[in-house]
Chains A and B, each alone.
Chain A
């Protein structure tokens, strides 16, 4: 007679995360949210500079397929001391790429605790929640929390103004060169 096998408790669901550092501070992001990890050097050729007063955390944009992706400096976003970023995370289903210092490790979390309600300002948009890993508490970032819809609108508007100004300059240059050509004939 075979003894009854003990019923197994269901394994806790886990989520793969990337632990990364920004100015010495540890954060986590779901691996599924990161489309691409690149060195900042590889961006230098592809990135275009952008200047939006009041939004100093965004200084570059890159084209990813048909979309323009804004590159956010994570240290400036979180109000941390500046540190030279080494990596950029292109975040899936957002128009954000994130400059970070480096990856600590890849691991998994089994439990995400909602951000306590005592945190009642901008951080509610920054974090999905908190997780405890190896007796440390790590905030888990929201991929779409780095740029608000208003900030994206302002960046897009600034880009379209730049494009209009560029088009006007181009028209003026063309008109000027047309005049020069006719005056020399």
Chain B
């Protein structure tokens, strides 16, 4: 058996926040889009700055830079639209990023007990050690989700 066969390569999308890069598993990415108008309205979830309209969907925008690099983004180049799981439901969440994103294949090292909750693993790529992000710990959501037996469907209601 070769070394390649023994390792489990996975696809990741690398995103840039300021000087740092982070990774998200590729199967959690919907698309990368140019910044568009953020619609704001009153709410009490500080991690959400507003919503954007994308393909007829209303998508919340969460600036995770404050948590990850210690300060919010002054400029943004793209929105990386991720698929965030809430129990059995999946919803789109837009993460502002400051640079190009890159798709790579790499082997993930599992996190240790001392890692922050938003770290779901580590990658070694291009001489850097990169955090793989746990979107459920990084982006806001209800504390406890009761698993639903309903089939997975977009969160929409028709009047």
Contacts and interface: CB of A to CB of B under 8 A. Distances in A.
A137 B86 contact: no
Interface in A168-185: none
Interface residues on A, range: 20 to 34
Interface string B124-147: 000000000000000111110000
A135 B53 contact: yes
A80 interface: yes
Interface stretch (A33-41, A83-91, A111-119): A111-119
Interface of A: 12-15, 25, 27, 78-80, 109-114, 116-123, 126, 129-130, 132, 135-139
B159 A118 contact: no
Contacts of A80: 42
Interface of B: 39, 41-45, 47-48, 51, 53, 56-60, 62, 84, 86, 89, 91, 93, 139-143, 155-159
A31 to B, nearest CB: 12
Given A110-B159, A132-B53, A118 B91 contact: yes
B159 A14 contact: yes
B155 A13 contact: no
Nearest to B61: A118
A13 B159 contact: yes
Nearest to B159: A15
16 contacts: A13-B158, A25-B42, A79-B44, A111-B159, A112-B159, A116-B51, A116-B91, A116-B93, A117-B84, A117-B141, A118-B47, A118-B48, A120-B140, A130-B51, A132-B56, A137-B39
Contacts of B48: 118-119
The winner among A13, A27, A111 for most chain B CB atoms within 10 A is A111
A78 B93 contact: no
Contact of A117 (B51, B58, B142, B157): B142
A121 B159 CA distance: 24
Contacts of B141: 117-118, 120
Nearest to A15: B159
Closest 8 CB pairs of A and B: A121-B44, A78-B42, A123-B43, A137-B39, A15-B159, A118-B60, A116-B60, A114-B155
Contacts of B42: 25, 78-80, 123, 126, 139
A114 B86 CA distance: 14
Given A113-B157, A120-B142, A136-B39, 8 more contacts: A13-B159, A111-B158, A112-B159, A116-B60, A117-B155, A120-B141, A121-B44, A123-B44
